[in-house]
Amino acid sequence: MCKNDFFGIYIHIPYCKSKCRYCDFYSAPGAQGVPQPYVDALLRELAKNSRRPDTLYFGGGTPALMTPEQAALLIKEANPLPGAEITLEANPDVVTPETLQGFRAAGVTRISFGVQSADDAQLRRLGRTHTAAGATQALGWAREAGFPEICGDIMLALPEYSNAEFDRTLALLQEGGCTHISAYLLKVEPGTAFYRNPPAGLPDNDAAADFYLYAVQQLEAAGYRQYEISNFAKPGHEGRHNLLYWNCRDYWGVGPAAHSCMGSVRRFWPDDVQGFTAGTTAEQPEGDCTAEDFLLMQLRLTSGLSLAEYNRRGGQFTAAQLAFMRQCVQHGYATFDEHTFRLTPAGMVVQNAILTELL
């Protein structure tokens, strides 16, 4: 099942200055930064691991609310291999030239900014606390700090969205030196402020699909090659850590709400920051990594699903499913050479419907 030749560690920093209106991730108030007892709890868990990671990912929440000194302690305890990719997620308005220089000195190689839009009115609507000018400034500081990998997020199909808004956001990221861009559709999730009070002007499904296809086209034209349904990179700058997830390799998550897949077994931490900090919670079993999980992950990638590898993992398509895959090719949703099944951008728009037929 999950291969064991690569290994990544995900460290969850759940603290945020404020909750974005679309966010359904587990988080905790963090206006005062990341409490040292929480960092100490992460250090306690990391000390139990002896396997050196190829990648280390600080996700959240807002990991850049840590001090560089806290990040350095966690990186040292994780003991990554030489040349490891070490990613830190950040909001543009929580960093300074000094903290970015500190994170780089601590060993962070990849900084990822949640920019989302270059439209200030849109950012306010989303509940983001930065401005477009602030994002431009933060990207400049990151370049000056010497990060070899600078990443930016774009949200698509936002309220009152337009291709022109996407173009402005792409230009901001491109001019800011981004080597990697994540572009994903807004989803209104239960439990969010947007779910309780939906904003006016949300595009319908057909319009959202058009925005996605336009984004794929424009990103490719700007030199960002699509390698996953929502991820685009300059050649050679793909995110190594998330590829561990999509290729069903070993990763270990640490912190409340973090998930793991180790030796084909999936586990997770309960959503309980107090319990994690106090050491009264533990990882819980979630189930095995199956052939179906592999199919789900591989069809996110533009490299596609190898039928031989799917069969090796215990999967098997019926004659009817193979006929459906060939129909997908005829409709422009996929390519299939009888060995590898790959979704096109149009196929990724209707991925859920395709998966329904294949699972």
- Over residues 243-248, mean pLDDT: 95
DSSP code per residue over 219-233: HHHTT-EEEETTEEE
pLDDT at 23 over 80: no
Decide: helix, strand or coil at residue 38. helix
46 token code pair: 């990391």
Asked if residues 88 and 116 have their Cβ atoms less than 8 Å apart, the reply is no
Q: Is 90 exceeded by the pLDDT of residue 96?
A: yes
**Which of 27-36, 102-111, 192-201, 350-359 comes out lowest in average pLDDT?**
27-36
Residue 301 pLDDT greater than 80, yes or no: yes
**Beta strand extents in the chain (DSSP E only):** 3-13, 15-16, 28-29, 55-60, 85-90, 110-116, 149-156, 180-185, 225-228, 231-233, 249-254, 259-262, 265-268, 284-288, 305-306, 334-336, 340-343
Tell me the domains of the chain and their CATH numbers: 3-244 (3.20.20.70), 291-359 (1.10.10)
Q: In this predicted structure, what is the pLDDT of residue 1?
A: 38
Residues 6+ apart with CB under 8 A from 200: 159, 160
- pLDDT over threshold 70, residue 3: no
Q: Which amino acid is at 332?
A: G
Pairing state of beta strands 149-156 and 180-185?
A: parallel
DSSP-derived 3-state class of residue 108: coil
Helices and strands: H and E segment counts in the chain: 15, 17
pLDDT at 208: 95
Q: How many CB atoms lie within 10 A of CB 105?
A: 13
Q: What distance in Å separates the CA atoms of residue 261 and residue 65, rounded to the nearest whole number?
A: 27
What integer pLDDT is reported at residue 27 of this predicted model?
72
Question: pLDDT category, 2, cuts 50, 70, 90?
Answer: very low
